[in-house]
Structure 1
């Protein structure tokens, strides 16, 4: 398979620009756009202001003009008219040159301190056979002596599974040059008691994050990840899901040229495991060492490690100016990710409409086309080249620079990883996440099949709405420190916890409508991009479009939130939301104290 695109350096012959982050103020005769960072301003007609919202990614002026006439049929395909408006906005100082960012990133910076060895945490829940397979994979594929410590964090509910996992760790330690500590229910209870004894005034907040008995009947994905953070305070940490293998692969379309992306991954589609195994190339890279190679470096050093000595405007092509405006040579790489081969790790196949045309073309030219993609769960999800983004999302193998005060994860519900990525970006607005251009196998032992009819894609809410609400705590200025920023997040949660039921309902409706409107726009973009593609795909998009339009006409109550038990009235649901918001806010205020105590606990309890 060949690569479907040219590299970013192909776009370096012309300057690239993106619209500054602006406030829009209605004035007589149109809209006054004011750049938040510089104060530059220009008055334009309302329809021009709307069109300029599509100019946030870095493109050449001609590229912006051609994009605008493709999106807005009312422009009549007149590229010259669009260029004339763009030059007017450029002359007013509202278009940020990509070269300005490159100059800052390529500037002098203090050398990185030598990186210490990493600590590896495996998180598991009731899958002892997967744990056994992963431990065997680690012994074969990882240079374990390079790591300070290994942990297995066991969130299993079944006592027999806990016993099997602990025995597997004991057998592993007979062969591994670096010891692994088993952190099961007994050890977790010991840790909980240790920190509560030393922070009795924080007991309620600590229990919110760590006490499994508070979350009976709920999948506590985030709780296990928070335990990983507390066991590795002051270290570079690599977190592994239990159903991956310690091996790295690269697809033919992947290459080594660095880019700054929008966070969207690409995808490919396969009949089964044997199909993708025949099309990927195994790498000699130990994926754990691969993650550690850039985790914790500053941007300048990370670019050098990836073979990019000088950042050019082409590297920023299609990157969002709002995201990358303030990066610099010393921006820290706090999160590393890698792609996955096999099961995509998503609950449904509703992610397909978010794919860009290059991935859709791969999907539709595969045997079976759309139906095969909807029915099967044999995919590649990842980046075709090393990609910097502003926030982390979902990765079955994740690096975390826990030498910084990273936030805790929300203890339960899906979407905890995206929420963590957003909170990290709020705490460290100049930080970056890096996704490598290679993948690890993600192979759940239980059979997982897709839905050939296609799952609904209409947003219904969940932690993604909390993520959007907390974004209101963002402060782009570099002045406030992490303690102040953490307090801003906690205050935002306090606000949510004190809203009336009608206020919560209004917040939910507004946030959900915003998410649905954005999704409707995405569906429209995919339909426009797919005009010459498969008729079944167009029909699938149109069906979801109609479902989204219908959902936007409804007035949803809090009972429509995912995971809400049936039979609860709005007051009871609102009370639960307020309680969780207050609990998470208190947890954020206790977090730095909890980190300090946990560093001692990990040493004293687990060596």
Structure 2
């Protein structure tokens, strides 16, 4: 490749050879450009091969040109790129016009991409034919008052939109009075709306599992663990209902509620259309005096909430980006590199859609409250009385101002495209939603989660005291441990078949389970040390950047840092959050082996169960 650039490469600190020219304000209408990411292999002292990561194309270039490319990573105007090269490259004896000509030649070769070309490439993907909605699933468990409020809001919805959806209530209740009350509420809901309704209590779930085992004998041991309550297992079991919903909707799409949610959806007064391409955008967080105030904040969404989500669920991102609702404004690309936009692929399917929440927080700890953006922090700690109320996170608003896509979602989705194999999740333990999303990403590497700029009401059965857990040492749960392992330690899988990728994950989990006792303990020690050290670092950064924060905020941040610091040095048994405080090294080693083995068995059996359920289609649900 020929070039007029002629300067020396300095791999140390680059100094200026002359004072930087005064920079004019960038023209907001000027096209923006960013260089492609790639890999470099040396050819000689002067030349290298640059392979474009997105296309695999190779280009021969001088190291001088490579350095120029490196200065153009972020979307900015050509004038800004030229200014940056002139002000940061040592020993450059090329006129401004010459640098501009070289950049134009790189644009022509596709090594520097214009914003319009990037967005046009994204939008080239044709629309995907989306699967039908099988049913709306509701996970319920011994909370009749919460279920009553949810059904009341769904009654209003059905009367308003005459949608005629099918509803399936998966009841995990064990108290007879709760079960009786739930049945009464569902009969009234069916009479009021005319909607088709299916109830799955303990007996119905057991009959379904019998049918599945008969059809898939290899799942005889795994199916009950994945789908049925174990009377000897006291832990939270939201994953069971999740797995049942996935099987009963296999081959189609589904919507899902928890019984403590309620319609309508609401949006912030500042919400806007379009898709935010920045993966690091912070959520909008507001705090209120009480839950009623938070539930009434914002504007009610007048569109059908299901159709709003189903428009995106299962669709290709490129097709969505052509519409006004999810178009990307090219100015939103400013300052972003193509490496940070790798998730924006036209053919990437939106397999899950989510919304924010107003009312009660969806987390059991409030540590995240000390890491929110500055405007939210000001609202969070504006005075001591409101701060003491806000640390319990019982009346807040958490959501985004503009739609966004991500590779992983950490909360329960509202709709799922289950027309392709989706993984099961751990039937027990909190964090089942993050684990599900992480494994979905593993078996569908280009899958996306879309979060819409709307929130749903969330009212828990009683006020929860989160501050005690917040100020204790960070102790992730088992599902968080597996999710972090998948994201940080698994090698890249090359298999194209999602079922094969799920089997590979199971093999890795069995590998850890099969280690010796001391090796399992050491693995947990390393994980907890990393998790706590990472939290300490993030909180210290927040503390240093918020020197004007109130003293009570600063005192609590120090308390959290110190609690995690003491835990790092304590030398106690490395227990996860689901295990007893009194657990010994032998206890945690045995618990890790047992839980990893059960989860691996579930992943191994799941593809056959899901395939059978897909083949059965509506018959599986109609036969209940």
Q: CA deviation at 1:273?
A: 2.6
1:563 paired with 2:581, answer no
Q: Which of 158, 167, 171 is residue 188 of structure 2 equivalent to?
A: 171
Cα separation, partners in 2 of 1:376 and 1:581, compared to 1, 3 Å? closer
1:254 paired with 2:271, answer yes
1:3-402 equivalences in 2 (<5 Å): 15=32, 99=115, 102-103=118-119, 105-113=121-129, 116-142=132-158, 145-146=162-163, 148-213=165-230, 216-260=233-277, 261-262=279-280, 265-277=283-295, 279-305=297-323, 307-309=325-327, 311=328, 314-316=331-333, 324-325=341-342, 327-365=344-382, 368-375=385-392, 377-395=394-412, 398-402=414-418
Mapped contact 2:471–2:559 kept (Cα < 8 A)? no
1:479-558 equivalences in 2 (<5 Å): 480-558=496-574
1:595 paired with 2:610, answer yes
Residue 583 of structure 1 is matched in structure 2 by: 598
Cα separation, partners in 2 of 1:83 and 1:545, compared to 1, 3 Å? farther
Aligned partner of residue 561 in structure 1, secondary structure:
coil
Distance 1:387 1:341 in 2: 18
Deviation per residue, 1:126-169 (Å, 9 max, x gap): 01121122112101024675455210000111122112212221
Distance 2:573 2:27 in 1: 50
Aligned partner of residue 249 in structure 1, secondary structure:
strand
Residue 100 of structure 2 is matched in structure 1 by: none
1:441-480 equivalences in 2 (<5 Å): 441-451=457-467, 455-456=471-472, 458-471=474-487, 472-473=489-490, 475=492, 480=496
Is the deviation greater in 547-556 or in 229-238?
547-556
Unpaired runs of 5+ in structure 1?
1-8, 24-32, 45-51, 66-78
Mapped contact 2:31–2:114 kept (Cα < 8 A)? no
Aligned partner of residue 219 in structure 1, secondary structure:
coil
Cα separation, partners in 2 of 1:301 and 1:323, compared to 1, 3 Å? same
Aligned partner of residue 347 in structure 1, secondary structure:
coil
Q: CA deviation at 1:284?
A: 1.2
Aligned partner of residue 267 in structure 1, secondary structure:
strand
Mapped contact 1:191–1:601 kept (Cα < 8 A)? no
Q: CA deviation at 1:36?
A: 7.8
Distance 1:544 1:80 in 2: 44
Q: CA deviation at 1:452?
A: 8.6
Q: CA deviation at 1:115?
A: 5.3
Distance 1:510 1:118 in 2: 43
Aligned partner of residue 247 in structure 1, secondary structure:
strand
Distance 1:424 1:179 in 2: 30
Mapped contact 1:458–1:516 kept (Cα < 8 A)? yes
Aligned partner of residue 192 in structure 2, secondary structure:
coil
Aligned partner of residue 438 in structure 1, secondary structure:
strand
Distance 1:542 1:41 in 2: 53
Deviation per residue, 1:544-573 (Å, 9 max, x gap): 233333333343423x32121355432243
Mapped contact 2:37–2:52 kept (Cα < 8 A)? yes
Is the deviation greater in 159-168 or in 274-283?
274-283
Distance 2:597 2:579 in 1: 18
Deviation per residue, 1:220-267 (Å, 9 max, x gap): 011111111111111111110101112011122322232133385331
Unpaired runs of 5+ in structure 2?
1-25, 41-49, 64-69, 93-102
Root-mean-square deviation (CA, aligned residues, Å) is 4.1
Deviation per residue, 1:355-381 (Å, 9 max, x gap): 122321332347845323214510001
Cα separation, partners in 2 of 1:200 and 1:506, compared to 1, 3 Å? same
Aligned partner of residue 380 in structure 1, secondary structure:
strand
Cα separation, partners in 2 of 1:119 and 1:264, compared to 1, 3 Å? farther
Query: Whose Rg is larger?
Result: 2
Aligned partner of residue 175 in structure 1, secondary structure:
helix
Distance 1:493 1:452 in 2: 32
